[in-house]
Amino acid sequence: SIGGLVHVDCLGAAQPAGGLTVRLLHDATLFASTLTLADGSYAFTQVPLGSYTVVVVPPAGFGTTVDNQIVSLQLVDQSLTADFSLTCQLASIQGSVTGTCGGQTAPLQGVTVDLFSVDGSGHETLQVTVGTDASGNFSFSGVALGDYLVVIVTPLGYVADANSRPLSLGTAGAIYNTSFSLTCQTIASQPRTIGYWK
């Protein structure tokens, strides 16, 4: 039998990696394939004697210095172990939010910026929320590689050129930039309406 454990390590927090594909190759040909359990373990049983290559398939946003190991079964009832450790491939996102009113452009402080991850089926999951600083800047650091959507909550009195921007993070260690430009809404004074007094 051949088995082992697969862990992922993000920012020093190691966790078992469940649901990952592990392949067993014999003479460069796929012999068997399995998924890791919730505790990160996997096992191939009733394997004939011989040399094999165990390959782990890192998910999007993760990498490993060693993604395959060669093992050799030479004895009956022999059990071999091949463990793998994956690490996050991290990048950063930064940007700014500015507002233009009366021909003057200035940074906007306190604008809410949300970061959503987008999976292969287009499902969006909120990851983190930040606010812009006094210079109108925001940043997300230590973001795993993958597809994301940066969304701003447009403050009252402004219109945004775009409320969201898609980003695809594909290079570890890179800094991705995205910015938003807002303009003041033109409000017509109508003192005879209830909306004006509210």
Say if CB 177 and CB 94 are below 8 A apart. Answer: yes
Q: What is the pLDDT of residue 11?
A: 62
Structure tokens at 122: 């287009």
What's the mean per-residue pLDDT of the chain? 89
Q: Which pLDDT score is estimated for 3?
A: 96
Mean pLDDT of 149-175: 90
Return the SS3 of 195. helix
This prediction has a pTM of: 0.60
Report pLDDT for 137: 96
Q: What is the pLDDT of residues 93-117, one digit of tens each?
A: 999 999 999 889 999 999 999 999 8
Q: Which pLDDT belongs to residue 133?
A: 95
> What pLDDT is stored for residue 5 in this prediction?
95
pLDDT in tens, 17-33: 899 999 999 988 999 99
The pLDDT assigned to 173 comes to 82
- What is the token pair recorded at 102? 């009366």
Reported confidence tier of residue 193, pLDDT bands at 50, 70, 90: confident
> What does the buried/exposed string (b/e) look like for 161-193 if buried means 16 or more CB atoms within 10 Å of the residue's CB?
eeeebebebeeeeeebebebebeeeeeeeeeee
Asked whether the predicted pLDDT for residue 196 surpasses 80, the reply is no
Whether 179 and 96 have beta carbons less than 8 Å apart is answered as yes
Query: 114: number of CA atoms within 13 Å, CB side?
Result: 14
Q: DSSP per residue over 102-143, as a string?
A: TTEEEE-SS-EEEEEEE-TT--EEEEEEEE--TTSEEEEEEE
